[in-house]
Chains A and B, each alone.
Chain A
Amino acid sequence: DIQLTQSPSFLSASVGDRVTIACRASQDITTYLAWYQQKPGKAPKLLIYGASNLDGGVPLRFSGSGSGTKFTLTISSLQPEDFATYYCQHIHGFPPFTFGPGTKVDV
């Protein structure tokens, strides 16, 4: 099974900061990676798929990059509504479609 790790697990940031979250896969998954945002008590929300494609309605301050085993989610200028937990996920090929352990972005 493909394993995903994320770093950092916790990130302290302020409004206006540039934030970068890393995700590493245990084997080559080309660009079969997604990023989700989850707020407490809410369902996850899809942000990015195919490593770099923004889902509809997602603000342009979010971007994704990477391929193979190394991926990055960047928020160019953190907004108050961006404080949340972010998960990467392997999205195609053979299941299980594993999620990373999450990165909490907080004040």
Chain B
Amino acid sequence: DVQLVDSGGDRVQPGGSLRLSCAASGFLFSAYSMSWVREVPGRGLQWLASITGDGDTKKYADSVRGRFIISRDNAKESLHLHMDRLREDDTAVYYCARVPMYWEGLFDVWGQGTLVSVSP
């Protein structure tokens, strides 16, 4: 079965750092672009970042550019999001998602989500 499993969420203080991971299985991971999307309490869904299958091209939302880095390890079939200078408004459930071929911003498979809580 096609599956994504998110991990790494935690409670962290403002200004801190965190690294999220997403383990993929059941499909040819290197053939797909991947993304991170977060669900902010009371504010809905927000696309954060995307990375192509070869890892060469990365795109970011303005709200996280310069603070978050998306990366992937195709040999280990894993996706990562390194988050620096975390703010209280980064508190959210973070999902990794697969991008089907030919669509840049569509998400057809999602992880179960991992909770990041930023508070003093």
Report which A residues bind B (CB closer than 8 A): 32, 34, 36, 38, 42-46, 49, 55, 87, 89-93, 95-102
Number of A-B contacts (CB under 8 A): 62
Secondary structure at the A interface, as helix, strand, loop or mixed, is loop
Residue B111 interfacial (CB < 8 Å):
yes
Report which B residues bind A (CB closer than 8 A): 37, 44-47, 50, 59, 61-62, 95, 103-108, 110-113
Whether B47 contacts A99 by the Cβ 8 Å rule is yes
**Residues of the A chain whose Cβ atoms lie less than 8 Å from the Cβ of B47:** 95-99
Q: Report the Cα distance A16→B96, complex, angstroms.
A: 34
Known contacts being A43-B95, A87-B45, A90-B105, is A95 close to B110, with CB within 8 Å? no
Task: Specify the chain A residue showing the minimal Cβ separation from B35.
Answer: A97
Whether B45 contacts A99 by the Cβ 8 Å rule is yes
A-B contacts besides A43-B111, A89-B45, A91-B104, 6 pairs, CB < 8 Å: A36-B107, A44-B45, A45-B110, A92-B103, A93-B104, A97-B105
Q: Report the Cα distance A89→B106, complex, angstroms.
A: 8
**Residues of the B chain whose Cβ atoms lie less than 8 Å from the Cβ of A97:** 47, 104-105
Task: Specify the chain B residue showing the minimal Cβ separation from A49.
Answer: B106
**Residues of the B chain whose Cβ atoms lie less than 8 Å from the Cβ of A55:** 108
